[in-house]
Amino acid sequence: MTEQGQITSSRVGRIAALAGTGALMGINYLKHYGRRMVTGETGQEALHLSNAAAVYKTFSELKGGPLKLAQMLSIDKNVLPRAYSDQFAMAQHSVPPLSYPLVVKTFRREFGREPTELFDTFEQKAAHGASIGQVHRATRCGHLHAVKVQYPGVAKSLRSDLRVIKPLALQMFGLKENDFRDYFHEVEQKLLEETDYTLELKNAEMLVSASPGLDNIRFPSYYAGLSSAHILTMDWVDGLTLDKYVQTKPGQAERDRIGQALWDFYGHQVHTLRVFHADPHPGNFLVKNGLLWVLDFGCTKAIDDGFYRKQFRFLDPELLENQGALEKALEGFNVILSADTDAERREMVTICAQTLSVLAKPFHADEFDFGGAEFMNSMWKLGERNRDNPFLREVKGRRGSPDSVYVNRTYFGLYSLLSRLGAKVKTRGLTVCQNEPKHRI
């Protein structure tokens, strides 16, 4: 593949590409309904499959931003069909590289020096892409480094992409703009944060230093002196990304150990630090010699105490037994609004009880087996059901909290990683921590 060859160039080009997806999806839906009229069968999965391919192709041409937005909205509504999810998982691995002269130019702008002046060796061709940049392999004093270089103008094009994608995403998921303004804002903020590598370095150093002594977890070192807003230098880690690792068919004991490390790492961050790595996709984790390496702290989320208590209150198994308590918790979380009618309240409580009975399941036992398709399938089914639910489609108002977007995304990602691993994990029941957090940003 040629470098940068396929990237849609101008704003007009981007809009055209997105409009293309809209049209393609429309055609696919027409085909779908046409087939149903003829054969009487729905072929729902086939429809998602062809739409997912079209959506994925367009979004990956536009690089990270819109792709992540759509991904996040769908996770938050828990409406992500399996086909989309598989395609989205691939997205991170396929971005065309920048030319080396532009890499040099970026170095000159940020450091006033060329890559070869800062490193003993610097590979001109990128080793692989990152969501908004690319990674070069370099050496310095006999030490191997990974140097991430950001695409120029990413922040600008993110903003314009989001403006373009918003109406499309709203339509795609049947959302009302007014109700989701805060969610869009949250996602936009986070995506823009990711374009600042200085912030990523700070987040990485903070989370790494606050996470010592976790079993089987390792972090690369970061190098502030060799990093800037658009360049980030860390240790090169040779290892297999989590998805590739699974393909090597490791034994059950090792899968469980890696899965446990992952679970404990997230437990520590969310419940103790209340700041967490909010981008758990397979490319951000490497396995090497039975140890799990955590990469890429571009997307981290901090939550405050009030939100933490309200959100994780839902893990309490008592809520599934006691409808009144659940209704109260939902009111406290603005999922049920004071203007709702009794019928609406009852409907919302029922739907949330069903949703919780699936999503909170891993927390309700001492040990949970993520292996087998059963758990993930029950999540997909739940998503399908919620998406087709006429009540949820029609319900109005700004509900819930935008902070949930990244919490949900993180747990959704964590679940699907553990399920890919097929790991059995000691979830140690309800781990909600009522103490004050140890760290704040």
Q: Does 323 bind another protein (CB under 8 A)?
A: no
* Distant-in-sequence contacts of 170-174, Cβ < 8 A, 24+ apart: 171/22, 172/25, 172/55, 172/70, 173/73, 173/74, 173/77, 173/79, 173/387, 174/387, 174/393
Question: Which position among 42, 124, 221, 377 is part of the footprint of another protein (CB under 8 A)?
Answer: 124
Q: Which is nearer to another protein, 158 or 273 (CB)?
A: 158
Q: Which is nearer to another protein, 113 or 244 (CB)?
A: 113
Largest CA distance in the chain: 70
Mark the segment that binds another protein (CB under 8 A) among 103-111, 140-148, 266-274, 427-435. 103-111
The strand pair at 143-150 and 128-130 is best described as unpaired
Q: Does 7 bind another protein (CB under 8 A)?
A: yes
Q: Does 431 bind another protein (CB under 8 A)?
A: no
Residue 21 near residue 54 (C-beta atoms within 8 A): yes
Coil, helix or strand for 140?
strand
Q: How many CA atoms lie within 13 A of 297 on its CB side?
A: 24
Taken in order 356, 395, 398, 381, is the CA torsion positive or negative?
positive
| Token representation of residue 378 | 């029950």
Rounded to a whole number of angstroms, the minimum distance from the CB of residue 400 to another protein is 36
State how far the Cα of 138 lies from the Cα of 115, in Å rounded to an integer.
9
Question: Which position among 101, 213, 251, 324 is part of the footprint of another protein (CB under 8 A)?
Answer: 101
Q: Does 248 bind another protein (CB under 8 A)?
A: no
Q: According to CB under 8 A, which residues from 81 to 100 bind another protein?
A: 98-100
Q: Which is nearer to another protein, 5 or 142 (CB)?
A: 5
State how far the Cα of 243 lies from the Cα of 15, in Å rounded to an integer.
33
Q: Does 113 bind another protein (CB under 8 A)?
A: no
Q: Which is nearer to another protein, 117 or 388 (CB)?
A: 117
- Over the window 135 to 174, marking each residue x when it contacts another protein by CB under 8 A and - when it does not, the resulting string is -----------------xx--x------------------
Q: Does 377 bind another protein (CB under 8 A)?
A: no
Rounded to a whole number of angstroms, the minimum distance from the CB of residue 56 to another protein is 22
Which residues of this protein are in contact with another protein, per CB under 8 A?
A: 2-5, 7, 9, 98-102, 104-105, 108-109, 116, 124, 152-153, 156
